[in-house]
Amino acid sequence: MSSTFELVCPAGGLPALKAAVDNGADCVYTGFRDATNARNFTGLNFDEASLKQGIDYAHRRGVKVFIALNTYPQSDNWPHWTAAVDKAAAFGVDAIILADPGLMEYAHRNHPQLRLHLSVQGSATNYEAINFYRERFNIQRAVLPRVLSLAQVEHVVKNTPVEIEVFGFGGLCVMVEGRCALSAYATGTSPNCQGACSPGKAVRYEETSTGMETRLNGILIDKFGAGERAGYPTLCKGRFEVDDETYYAIEEPTSLNTLELLPELLRMGIKAIKIEGRQRSPAYVTQVTKVWRQAIDSCLRDPARFAVAPAWMAELNKVSEGQSATLGAYNRPWK
């Protein structure tokens, strides 16, 4: 049943990959341990040995493996990105997830048998763009940015033969996938090119007389009182003083949670639901995958009578940013 409506789960390392596979993922998405992917954090991702082991583990259990090569190469490092495409193809991954058109052309020309997916980092928000990528590079699936209402998503689905994947759960960006400049402004390192939003080398936690301070390249991002959990210092989710008021001036920490939209997403022909969180722990992957597997199976059995179980929401709320959830841009009734 689930083969027609895939659950795509994050794997920041081998333990997370196994957790996703064991708890019901149809597909896992991963990255190499370098700047070719948009979660280029210390301690995350796969070297060749662990990737081979992970692919074997997943494929033996009927689960697909996607490799995210979704950052943008530059003129002086182009060979590193093309080598990553070659390596992914040689390892027998089920698809690579790309954002850069030049890299799509390279993959399409040199590995015509390799399935290509358009990354959310490509920021394609209309069917004309998606169809262009299909005509030029034979893109088979597109991951939509989290900026569209449900009506807009359905309009895309109706006007393209490309499979559409949408985010179902996890952290939100400030609605500019593939175009974020905040981290580059603060640290000089671009998440679009180097793959690290708030790179670890620029992060500092400092205990002060008034509590814990978090800084990014010396910039104060947030202060936390005694007993308050100190979050990772991401510039867009910091608390800043604006007109004598301190608050989350750019974006509040919250997680997208679209469980209640499952019947609608299924009806409109969405191919896959993506769970965000390659930077999260195997425990997070276990918990979220298990809930979404149960919910998707329940929806597929009887979409008309589908109801979100309170226990599902309770489990997801435990791992949501800020212990709160939103429908994000999907819920815009005036659209």
* Domains recognised in the chain with CATH numbers: 2-172+254-330 (3.20.20.70), 182-248 (no CATH)
Segments in the chain forming alpha helices (H): 14-22, 48-60, 78-91, 101-110, 127-137, 150-158, 182-187, 262-268, 282-301, 310-318
Does the pTM of the predicted model rise above 0.85? yes
- Does residue 335 have a pLDDT over 70? no
Number of Cα atoms under 13 Å in the Cβ half of residue 321: 22
Give CA separation, 227 vs 62, 210, 211, 224, in Å.
Answer: 44, 12, 9, 8
Mean pLDDT of 170-191: 82
Q: How confident is the model at residue 198 (pLDDT cuts 50, 70, 90)?
A: confident
Mean pLDDT of 320-324: 77
CA 107, distance to chain mean position in Å, is 22
CA distance 3 to 210: 53
What is the total residue count of the chain?
335
- Does residue 283 have a pLDDT over 90? yes
Q: How confident is the model at residue 3 (pLDDT cuts 50, 70, 90)?
A: very low
Which position has the higher pLDDT, 175 or 80? 80
CA distance 310 to 303: 18
> Is 169:20 a contact under the CB 8 Å cutoff?
no
Residue 331: predicted pLDDT: 81
Q: What is the rounded average pLDDT for all residues in the chain?
A: 93
Q: 3-state DSSP call for residue 36?
A: coil
